[in-house]
Amino acid sequence: MDALTIMVVVLWIVVIALGIICFAMARQIGVLFERVAPMGALITDGGPKIGEAASRFELTTLGAKPVVIGQASGRSMLVYFLSPTCPVCKKLLPVLKSAEKAERGWLDVVLASDGDRASHETFVRQQKLDAFPYVLSADLGMSYRVNRLPFAVLIDGDGIVRAKGLINNREQLESLFNAKELGVDSIQRYLEAVPAEQ
């Protein structure tokens, strides 16, 4: 009986120690989530500033349809800059398709790039992007100072740039929509302002 009692006591000590370790780990994970705030799209200084009127471009899609970027149309427009040779751009295409379906009540998505038309037409067929207006314009990319891909610009229904930045994942893409809804330049600036108000 003494051996059995000792084993029960030891097991209770182990259970209590594991409970304390689990509590400490949960607390540390909570602290980590507080310290590591969500990161939005990486904003660049070049191109039109957030809150300024977007540059107006009258372009023709690969499907020979006219599209106007930067005009007051009553609907917001997301201009997604990509390249057929960009692996991150390809990885984000399912995310972009999903976002377009979820936000189609207020948002139009336009794909933009430059370069050889034939390679882009092949890319559109391979990635099944026929549903998106796809434009080729070096001037469009230069106007928004796009130097890394994938890059996105969110223009509101009044033709005003509401959010922009380099995006590498779903959270950064959605941060453009969140910044517009919150009426801030970026999620980073919103997070910086929140502690000051508290």
Domain containing 146 — which CATH number? 3.40.30.10
Compute the average pLDDT of residues 72-77.
92
The domain tally of the chain equals 2
Taking a C-beta distance cutoff of 8 angstroms, is the pair 151, 166 a contact?
A: yes
Which pLDDT value is given to residue 178?
Answer: 85
Judge whether 128 lies within some domain: yes
Cα separation of 93 and 105, whole Å? 20
Residue 45 has pLDDT above 90, yes or no: no
Residue 123 has pLDDT above 60, yes or no: yes
Judge whether 63 lies within some domain: yes
Judge whether 48 lies within some domain: no
Q: Is the same domain home to 66 and 5?
A: no
- Rounded to two decimals, the pTM is 0.75
Query: Checking DSSP bridges between strand 107-113 and strand 76-81, what pairing results, if any?
Result: parallel
Q: Is the same domain home to 26 and 63?
A: no
Q: What is the pLDDT of residues 145-176, one digit of tens each?
A: 998 899 999 999 999 999 998 888 888 888 88
Name the band, by pLDDT with cuts 50, 70 and 90, for residue 104.
very high
Cα separation of 15 and 18, whole Å? 5
**For a pLDDT cut of 90, what percent of the chain falls above it?**
62
Q: Is the same domain home to 1 and 88?
A: no
Judge whether 13 lies within some domain: yes
Which pLDDT value is given to residue 175?
Answer: 86
Compute the average pLDDT of residues 22-49.
74
Q: Is the same domain home to 71 and 161?
A: yes
Q: Is the same domain home to 100 and 171?
A: yes
Range of the domain at 12: 1-36
Which tokens sit at 13? Answer: 């000590």
Q: Is the same domain home to 67 and 31?
A: no
Cis-peptide into 195, omega within 30 deg: no
